[in-house]
A and B are shown apart, each in its own frame.
Chain A
Amino acid sequence: MNFFLLSLIKAVVVAFVLLTTLAYLQWVERKVIAHIQVRLGPSRVGPHGLLQPLADVIKLITKEDLLPPYVNKFLYLAAPFFAVTMALLSISVIPFGAEIHVFGTSTWMQLADLNFGILFVLAISSMGVYGIALAGWASNNKYSLLGGLRSSAQMISYELPLSMAVAAPLLLANTLSLRQLVERQSGYILGFIPRWSIFQGPMPQIFSFIIFMIAAFAETNRVPFDLPEAENELVAGFHTEYSSMKFAAFFMAEYANMITVCSITTTLFLGGWLPPWPASAGSNFVAPLIFVVAGAIALYHGLNPARRRDRLTLPVVAVVFFVVAALFLIPFLQGALMPLFWFAAKTGSLLFLFIWIRGTLPRFRYDQLMAFAWKFMFPVAVLNLLVTGLLVAVFS
């Protein structure tokens, strides 16, 4: 098929899925945080508040778009645009799944496989800080300025351990291309332990994984590192003066960054789309099993309804789940769907970790944040890189 047409289709599909995930990630976050805090969370708009993201979007679009006086107009308008562009850009190199064959054409579930893919991601993420820093500066507000300053200091500091933690698994894989990185992690040690970077010899990258995750929390300005928008000291930090869609752009950028960082972690450390145990041991039946169990539960509650409308809705949900489970069992679709399932499962678990930690940990103090980056994370990351390099040099 035509290269441009194929790329266009893939780009549209990826953009659509990404934006939907963005909207619903926020719903998942509100629900999970609510249940951690023994609340119900959004429950009014649609069943279980499932239409809440849609309502939020309408609300944000129709809100008044304020332009405060004495702002630097160009930068004030450009900053949210820049932030969201940089946040959405790096998804283009992430491999979601293995090669698929449709209508005689074969293509990878990835927009572009650059042979310096991981460097591209680092470059884009290092540019992302400008959106926040300039938004804080251009707003002509001292709280915003403090938020912007904190964010740039924090992102410079945590980028060092982040890059060091990325370098260590690259030494094992010996490539910078994200697709090859996943392919090098295929296979099993002793027949059942996957050769993912966190388990792979000669130096399992478990320390890199932990350092990367901590630095990723800081890079995405998430709790416990959300100093740039610490609401009890800075009102709302760098986006205090933003309203309507410009505020939504920062919101989207934060969630897009979370998704990117979790996808990169999956690719680097958790074997990307590869299953955790071989297909010969039945890893292909995990997804149908989950959907069948979910469908069975929905059916049970539909037959013993707590509310009147459950009698109709829950069986419908159950049927949908059974159909999805059946789709996973069709051999023709299985090859394409299972990698996608594993990638989504791993990334989703990491995203859940982000939300879980937000609901659990308090915020760092600013001096603790800096001391932690420079006096603990950075030395540990360097040490880990040195040991990995030494072991790789000795054993290969």
Chain B
Amino acid sequence: MDVILFLIFAAIAVVCGINVVVQSHPISSAISLIGVMGSLAVLYLLLGAEFLAAAQVIVYAGAVMVLFVFVIMLLNAGAETRKGRSWMAQLLGLPLVFAFLGLMAYFVQHLFPGAPEVHFGAFRHGTALDVGRALFTQYLLPFEVVSVLILIAILGAVVLARKELE
């Protein structure tokens, strides 16, 4: 059951991911990206990381992507026009993709040789309680540093968006 669900949603994620690149209209690409986010959330849920799954949907699918869609709609971006592609890209594209995938597989094999097999539902530390405890004890410093980083980003956005005072 878990494996079937994993295969279904992994396939959806991959197909949507490819669709993001293939689609010529920005809205279609954005919607495919929402599909990727959604299926990733389901994969987290299958692994037992329930808080992460909910946060994934709330933050990425529900907030970041709404902003994407909003901006695309606001700018009324039209479909991408296809220019003539270089013959180099047409010729070398497919072999390079396979070379890249092979290289990635090689690195994963060599960097994590003894990685244990994934068991669905065996992970029991994905609740909000566990995540919160880890964030405020073990990962307190990174957490605070990221908070400061986000604060800087917000300040930057405010400075950029501020009207010029004469």
Contact = CB atoms under 8 A, between A and B. Distances in A.
A178 B34 CA distance: 27
A159 B63 contact: yes
B54 A133 contact: no
A122 B58 contact: yes
B51 A126 contact: no
Contacts of A133: 66, 69-70, 73
A156 B66 contact: yes
B153 interface: no
A153 interface: yes
A215 interface: no
A126 to B, nearest CB: 3
A254 B9 CA distance: 29
A129 B66 contact: yes
B66 A155 contact: yes
Interface size class of B (residues with CB under 8 A): 20 to 34
**Best-surrounded residue of A72, A116, A133, A176 (most CB of chain B within 10 A):** A116
B121 interface: no
Nearest to A176: B128
Contacts of A115: 50, 127
A137 B73 contact: yes
B43 to A, nearest CB: 15
Interface in B30-75: 31, 34, 41, 50-51, 54-55, 57-58, 61-63, 66-67, 69-70, 73-74
A393 B131 CA distance: 19
A148 B27 CA distance: 14
Interface string A141-185: 000010011001101100100000000000000001000000000
A127 B73 contact: no
A123 interface: yes
Interface string A130-145: 1001101100000001
Contact of A145 (B51, B73, B127): B73
Contact of A126 (B27, B61, B73): B61
Given A115-B50, A116-B127, A156-B63, A127 B57 contact: yes
B69 A130 contact: yes
B27 A75 contact: yes
A122 B127 CA distance: 16
A149 B66 contact: no
Contact of A152 (B31, B55, B69): B69
B27 A123 contact: no
B107 to A, nearest CB: 34
Contacts of A136: 73
Contacts of B57: 123-124, 126-127
A120 interface: yes
A159 B62 CA distance: 10
Q: Which range contains the number of A residues in contact with the other chain?
A: 20 to 34
B36 to A, nearest CB: 14
Contacts of A72: 27
A137 B54 CA distance: 27
A206 interface: no
Contacts of B51: 116, 119
Given A133-B69, A134-B69, A152-B73, A116 B61 contact: no
Contact of B63 (A120, A126, A134, A137): A126
B71 to A, nearest CB: 10
B54 A123 contact: yes
A133 B14 CA distance: 25
A115 B50 CA distance: 9
A119 B73 contact: no
A75 B34 CA distance: 14
A152 B71 CA distance: 10
Nearest to B25: A72
A181 to B, nearest CB: 13
A155 B66 CA distance: 9
A243 to B, nearest CB: 23
Interface in B128-159: 128
B58 A119 contact: yes
A149 B31 CA distance: 16
Interface in A105-128: 114-116, 119-120, 122-124, 126-127
A221 to B, nearest CB: 15
List 10 A-B pairs, minimum CB-CB distance, nearest first.
A126-B62, A119-B54, A123-B57, A152-B70, A123-B58, A116-B50, A137-B73, A116-B54, A123-B54, A176-B128
Interface of A: 72, 75, 114-116, 119-120, 122-124, 126-127, 129-130, 133-134, 136-137, 145, 148-149, 152-153, 155-156, 159, 176
29 contacts: A115-B50, A116-B54, A116-B127, A119-B54, A119-B55, A119-B128, A123-B62, A124-B57, A126-B63, A127-B57, A127-B61, A129-B62, A129-B66, A130-B69, A133-B66, A133-B70, A133-B73, A137-B27, A137-B73, A145-B73, A148-B73, A149-B70, A149-B73, A149-B74, A152-B70, A152-B73, A155-B66, A156-B66, A159-B62
Given A127-B62, A156-B66, 17 more contacts: A115-B50, A115-B127, A116-B54, A119-B51, A120-B54, A123-B57, A126-B58, A129-B66, A130-B66, A133-B69, A137-B27, A137-B69, A137-B73, A145-B73, A152-B69, A156-B63, A176-B128
